[in-house]
């Protein structure tokens, strides 16, 4: 059994599975872009006092398993992840991503996302295995 984390007046174990899809499911994510995205997301989660458990993705979507605390506003966290990764990746991989997204302010992510609490569908170990076994883009 996993150990609970504690704060001054609470004990908790909150793990989420986040799925983000590229706009129009364009196959724009390469292995290099995914590696950089993982670094960015890990840094963001640290700033939000969250922990990255696992990250993986394919050419048109990513999976993020992370642990958080009860005071995190999930919608604000997801919005921050989408905004910062989009901005940084469009800046750092401008030439590559311009093949897939164009215009004065191209939208990188789909407007929607999926976030699922871990334990509601599958044990954490199975989700980690699923994320690790995503088809790797070249």
pTM for the complete prediction?
0.85
**Domain spanning 13-132 has what CATH number?**
3.30.70.1290
Alpha carbons 121 and 118: distance in angstroms, whole number: 7
Is 62:30 a contact under the CB 8 Å cutoff? no
* pLDDT tens digit at each of 138 positions of the chain: 567 888 888 888 899 999 999 999 999 999 999 999 999 999 999 999 999 999 999 999 999 999 999 999 999 999 999 999 999 999 999 999 988 887 766 789 999 999 998 874 567 778 788 888 888 787
Enumerate helices (H) and strands (E) in the chain, giving the number of each.
Answer: 4, 6
């Amino acid at each position: 059994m996993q150990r609970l984390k504690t704060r001054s007046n609470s004990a908790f174990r909150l793990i989420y599975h986040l799925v983000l899809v590229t706009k129009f499911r364009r196959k724009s994510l390469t292995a290099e872009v995914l590696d950089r995205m993982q670094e960015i997301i890990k840094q963001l989660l640290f700033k939000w006092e969250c922990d990255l458990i696992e990250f993986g993705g394919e050419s048109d979507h990513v999976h993020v398993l992370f642990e958080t605390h009860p005071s995190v506003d999930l919608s604000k966290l997801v919005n921050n992840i989408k905004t910062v990764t989009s901005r940084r990746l469009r800046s750092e991989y401008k030439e590559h991503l311009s093949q897939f997204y164009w215009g004065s302010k191209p939208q990188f992510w789909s407007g929607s996302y999926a976030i699922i609490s871990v334990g509601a569908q599958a044990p954490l170990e199975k989700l980690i295995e699923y994320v690790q076994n995503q088809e790797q883009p070249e």
